Amino acid sequence: MRDATQPGGYPGAVTLILREGRIVDFQAYGHRDLARRAPMRRDTVFRIYSMSKTIASAAVMQLVERGSIDVDAPVQRYLPELADRQVAGGDARAPTLRPARRAITVRHLLTHTAGFAAGLPGDDAAAALTRRHDPHAAQDLAGFVVRLAQAPLAADPGTRFGYDGAATETLARLVEAVSGQPFDAYLRERVFAPLRMRDTGFAVPASARGRIAELTTTGDDGRLRLDDGPSQREPGAPLNAYASGAGGLYSTACDYARFAQMLLDGGRIADESGFAECDGQRHEGPGPRVLRADTVAAMLRNQLTMLDPPVHQFDPGEGFGFGGAVVIDPAKRSAPASPGQFGWPGAASTTYAIDPQRKTVALALLQHLPRTGVAGDPPRLSQQFYRLAFAAADAAGAAAQRSP
């Protein structure tokens, strides 16, 4: 990480590794600005984008626990506008439509198998009609779902994995409809407050905006530049007009590590004292229960068993649970990993993994939008980071076994 954040590389990074509930490595590298004037800090705020999806999925599963949502119920029970889905095929200029063979269920939304257009072969007609209704232009989650419901699906629900944001935005709206609370308010009360995730939200208070990392990308000339999107122009402002469960959260290494450790510990942080290095305060004993252990086990278990092979579209060795990928065949995976390892990245080079076998959580947070195929774009770091982090965890475990 130190080498990767030298001039000519990424501006900076924060990494955090927990083993058996204790922070064993927590580092800030480089700078949080492209001009390299502001040193990176361990409390730097990052746009975590798709790492938001695991949090949104956890919120849904809380309502499943309370009996307010049935995972296998048609989602139209809670969001009637999603009834009577059609599937589009053929050419985008003259699509053919037919009734979907089954209704979308909550499980389909949690596993990205609802059939929404996802850039896969044959999706052109559905994608064009979805763009016509432009769900992302909605001002709230209710409007997003209303717009989405006017577009057809690209495939029958339950027949394929197609990674998209529409499923998780629909889940966020489902939380609102069932709980009676705005999605952001629900997360603050039910997830962030119990876990003491003080720096996580859909916007950053003015008093904390100086801690936000600048967002970079690579120009056509192969040199890093500031991204020209609205998030870089106004850091800390909401990333969407609505509270996006698919990718709208800001967070810090400590905050997200608390969430990940909660999952590793089966629904509650087993020992809060392991996070004393985060806020300088020592809290002894277990934290509040956020989820039941059996609920977390379901989230971290492959849920794509209806597919053949039961894997997601990006890696032949990984299935998908509720809100993240799970390693099911290390031999087929593109990088070494343990069976059962769970996690998911964000679009701007943030990533986390939970390794139940090693009892380890690892996060690497950068703030760079990569550009595939552009010369000069910095190399991806996640595979090497996890390889080194988990090798160190193995070495620590072996040393502990040897000690008297």
Q: Same domain, yes or no, for 9 and 143? A: no
| Whether pLDDT at 395 is above 90 | no
In whole angstroms, what is the distance from residue 345 CA to residue 353 CA?
Answer: 9
Q: Is the pLDDT of residue 154 over 70?
A: yes
Question: Do 170 and 258 fall within a single domain?
Answer: no
What is the spatial distance between Cα 310 and Cα 343, in angstroms, rounded to a whole number?
Answer: 17
Indicate whether 8 belongs to any domain: yes
Residues 219 and 161 in one domain: no
Domain region containing 164: 61-179
Confidence (pLDDT) at 280: 77
Does residue 20 share a domain with residue 151? no
Contact 173, 240 (CB under 8 A): no
**What is the overall mean pLDDT for the chain?**
96
Same domain, 124 and 159: yes
Please check whether residue 252 is in contact with residue 43, taking contact to mean a CB–CB distance below 8 angstroms.
yes
**3-state SS class at 211:** helix
Bridge partners (DSSP) listed for residue 352: 344, 363
Select from 140, 141, 121, 119 the least CA-distant residue to 130.
Answer: 119
pLDDT mean over 373-384: 92
Which of 204, 132, 121, 134 lies closest to 169 in space, CA to CA? 134
- How many domains is the chain partitioned into structurally? 2
pLDDT tens digits along 14-51: 999 999 999 999 999 999 999 999 999 999 999 999 99
Q: What is the pLDDT of residues 187-231, one digit of tens each?
A: 999 999 999 999 999 999 999 999 999 999 999 999 999 999 999
DSSP-derived 3-state class of residue 99: strand
Indicate whether 29 and 114 sit together in one domain. no
- Same domain? For 265 and 379 the reply is yes
- At how many degrees (to 10) do helices 52-65 and 253-264 cross? 40
Q: How confident is the model at residue 398 (pLDDT cuts 50, 70, 90)?
A: confident
Grouping H, G, I as helix, E, B as strand and the rest as coil, residue 155 is coil
Determine the average pLDDT of the residues in 332-338.
85
Closest CA to 97 of 156, 160, 170, 143: 156
Quick one: pLDDT at residue 397? 78
Residue 186 maps to a domain:
no
For 158-171, the DSSP string reads TS-----SHHHHHH
- In this prediction, residue 114 carries a pLDDT of 98
Whether residue 401 is predicted with pLDDT greater than 80 in this model: the reply is: no
Residues 145 and 78 placed together within one structural domain of the fold: yes
pTM: predicted TM-score of the whole model, two decimal places: 0.96
The two structure tokens encoding residue 61 = 């599963």
Q: Check residue 404 and give its pLDDT.
A: 66
Report the number of secondary-structure helices (H) and strands (E) in the chain.
11, 14
Contact 140, 147 (CB under 8 A): no
Residue 122, domain member (yes or no): yes
Same domain, 146 and 216: no
Residue-wise pLDDT for 248-279, tens only, equals: 999 999 999 999 999 999 999 999 999 999 98
Rounded Cα distance, 166 and 172, in Å: 10
